[in-house]
Amino acid sequence: MAGLLLVDIAIYALFTLCIAAIASADQEPRFRSQKYAKGFEGPYPLQRYGSADVSGPILNYWHRSVACQDGLYTILTPRGDSVRQSGPMIVDQQGHLVWFKQYKTTYNANVHDYKGERYLTFWAGDDSVRGHGEGTYYMLNSHYEEVYKIHGANGLYGDLHEFQITRDDTALFAVYEILPTDLREVNGPKVGWIYDGLFQEVDVETNEILFQWRASEHFPLQEAERDREEGDGETEDNPWDFFHINSIDKDWRGNYLISSRYMSSLAYIDGRTGDIIWKLGGKQNSFQDLSGGAATNISWQHHARFHVPYDTNSTRMISLFDNASRGEGAPENTSRGLIIEINEEDMTVAVVQEYWNPTPISSQSQGSMQVLDNGNVVLGYGYSAAWTEFTAEGEALCEVHFGPQTQFHRGQIVSYRVFKQEWLGLPLTSPSVALSGTQAAVSWNGATEVVTWVLQGAFSRGEQGENVGVVAARQLADSEDLDLEFEFISAAPKSGFETIIYLPRDTPYSKLRIIALGKKGDTLGATAELDWEPEEMNKEVAVYSGEEQPNEQDADTEETSDTTSLWTIGIGLITVAVLGFCVWLLCKIANSGSLKNMFTREKNGGVWQRVYAEEELDELEGFSDVESGDHASDSLLKRPGG
C-alpha cells in the first residue's frame, strides 16, 4: 500500500514539476555566485521563456548599488565560442532581458540620434577576416524596423570596429583594405601586402562618400609596435596588419580623433587635408606627459572619444579604454578606463581620472568606455564578459558578469562594447503568450513601456452571457471583433521579460486575451484571442506568438533542418534524464521523511531563492567572508602577476 502511495506521489510531483518548469518566469540575477563564477552554470548562462523563442542572459552581480538604477538600458552584443545565437541585446536595470533578435555575428550595438530620432545601431556580418569584419551597419527605429542599411563605399566592406552618427548627421565608420606595399623597411619583401586602416564618412540616405582617409599615406610602417611575424605580408592571402584602426570620433572643428591599436597611439587628423595634427602615445608621441608616463603609456587601447563640454580654447578632454595588454601570449596587465586632458598650446597631457576594477580584469582585446550624462563611467571589458559602472571619481558601483570569471579572456563569451542608453521600444508585433494549466506566461519582445498585464475573457459568438458567477469588474477595451465583448478577469504588474498570470479555475469564458497597459492606463497592445479549454490546457502547452515572420536576415541565420532534428533528439534525451532525476529525488524525500531535510530557503535582497543540497549551502557559507569583506576570493581570481 505504501508503495502504491509513493508511486502516486511521484506521478503527481513529476506532473507539477513539468508544469512549473514550463510556466516559470524570469530567473533573478545571481549575486557573487561561486557556482556561476567557476562555470558550474555553464560557459554562457541563459534562461529560456515559455512564451517567446528567445533566450535571456543570467547575470552575476559582483558589486551592485541603487546608484546604477537610473532608468537606462544596457546594450551589448554577446558572441563567442559558447554563444549559439548572436545579435544585439537590450537588458534593463534589474538585469532582465528587454529585447533580442538574432543576426549574423554582431558588434558595437549602441543608440544614436539621427535627424531628431533615436536609432538602435549595430554592425552584423562576417568577423572571421583575421580580426576585421565585412558586413553591414543597421539602423533600427523605436519600432525595431530596419530603416537604414549602410555599406562601405568605393567597393569596400564596412568594418566591425566603429560606427557613429556625427553631429552633421553623417555616418562614420572603419574600413580595411588589402594593398601591395614595399616591406623592405621592416625586413619584408619588396612586393609585400598590408591591411591598410581606413575610415569613411558617408551620407546616410545615399551612402555617397564624403571623406576618406587611409593610414598608409600618413604613417610609416616602422611606427608599428606589433612586430611583423614570419610570413606576415608575404602573400596577398596573409597581409600584415600594421595599424589596426579601431575607433574614430569627429569633433566640432570637423577634425577626427582615431585610435591605432598596433601603434598604441591616438592621432588627430585634419578634416580637410587628412594630415596628422598630433599623436598621443606610441613611438612618435607629441606631448609632454605631466603624469609621469601614466597618460601616454597606453597599449592596444580602444574607443577614444572627445568630450566637448570640457573644451576650452587650449585644453581638451579625451576618454579611452586602455587594454594595457598586447594580445594572446603577452603579459596580462590590468585594463583601465582613462580620462586625460591635453593642452594644445603647451603640448602637455595629464591624467584626470583612472578607473580600475576592484576585481582586476585584463582584456586582451576589445573594450569600451562611456561617460554618462550624470558623470558616471561605464567600462565594457571586451574579451572578458563583464562591465562595471563607476562614479566620476572612480568608485565602482556595479560590476556585472555575463559569463564565468574562469572563462574571461578565453573567447567563450565576449561583447565588443557595452553601453547604457535611453531607449523607447514600441514593437509593431503583438505580445506572445503561452498557456499551461491555470497559468499564462506573457511577454513582448522589445516593449519598454508596458507596466501592467490585464487578463480579459469573453464568450464566443452565440454563447449566453448570463452564466452564473460571472462578474465583470470592469471592461477595459472594446474588441475589434464586434461579436465579442471582453471583460476584466485579473491584472498583474509586468515583471521581467516574462510575467506569469494565474487563471481562475472557475473562469467560464471560452475566449481569453491579455492586454498590455502603459503608465497612464493606455492600451499598448493585445495578444491573439485564445481558445480557453481548461481540460485540454492541463494536458498540453499552447503558445500564441505575436512575433512577425522571419525576414531575410533571420533566414540567413536559421539552423538547418538536420541541426534542428539533432537538437530535438538532444532535448528528448535531456527530458528523460530530468524525469529520472525527479524520480530519484522523490525517493530521497521519502527516505528522509521530510522536505525540510532536502531543501532550505534563503532570502537575498527581497527575492526568495531555493538552494539545493548541502554542497551548495557549504559553498555559500564559505563565501560569506567575500561578501562581508567586499573583495574577490583569492582562490577564484588573482591579481595579474600575483
Query: Do 30-421 and 432-552 fold alike per CATH?
Result: no
The three-class DSSP label of residue 492 is strand
Sort 568 into a burial class: Cβ within 10 Å, 0-12 / 13-18 / 19+.
Answer: exposed
Length of the chain: 642
**Rg of the Cα atoms in the chain:** 28
Angle at 600 between CA 595 and CA 605, to 5 degrees: 145
User: Residue 426 gets which letter from DSSP?
Assistant: -
- pLDDT tens, residue by residue, 340-361: 999 999 999 999 999 999 999 9
Say what the pLDDT of residue 332 is.
76
Domain map of the chain by residue range?
30-421, 432-552
- Please give the Cα distance from 532 to 507 (Å, whole number): 9
Task: Say which CATH architecture domain 432-552 belongs to.
Answer: Sandwich (2.60)
Give the CA distances from residue 273 to residues 167, 251, 263, 268, 270, in Å, rounded to whole numbers and listed in that order. 20, 15, 22, 12, 6
| Residue 39 β-bridge partners | none
- Please give the Cα distance from 567 to 584 (Å, whole number): 26
Say what the pLDDT of residue 462 is.
57
Say what the pLDDT of residue 573 is.
59
The correct CATH number of 30-421 out of 3.40.50.300, 3.20.19.10, 2.120.10.30, 1.10.10.10 is 2.120.10.30
Question: Which residue from 144, 152, 128 is spatially nearest to 553, judged by alpha carbons?
Answer: 144
Say what the pLDDT of residue 546 is.
74
Percent of the chain with pLDDT over 90: 69
Q: Is the CB of residue 45 less than 8 Å from the CB of residue 82?
A: no
Q: Residues of the chain whose pLDDT is less than 50? A: 1-24, 464-482, 549-552, 554-569, 587-642
Say what the pLDDT of residue 605 is.
33
pTM listed for this prediction: 0.80
Say what the pLDDT of residue 179 is.
98
Say what the pLDDT of residue 42 is.
94
- How many whole angstroms from its chain centre is CA 340? 28
Sort 625 into a burial class: Cβ within 10 Å, 0-12 / 13-18 / 19+.
Answer: exposed
- pLDDT tens, residue by residue, 100-131: 999 999 999 999 999 999 999 999 999 998 88
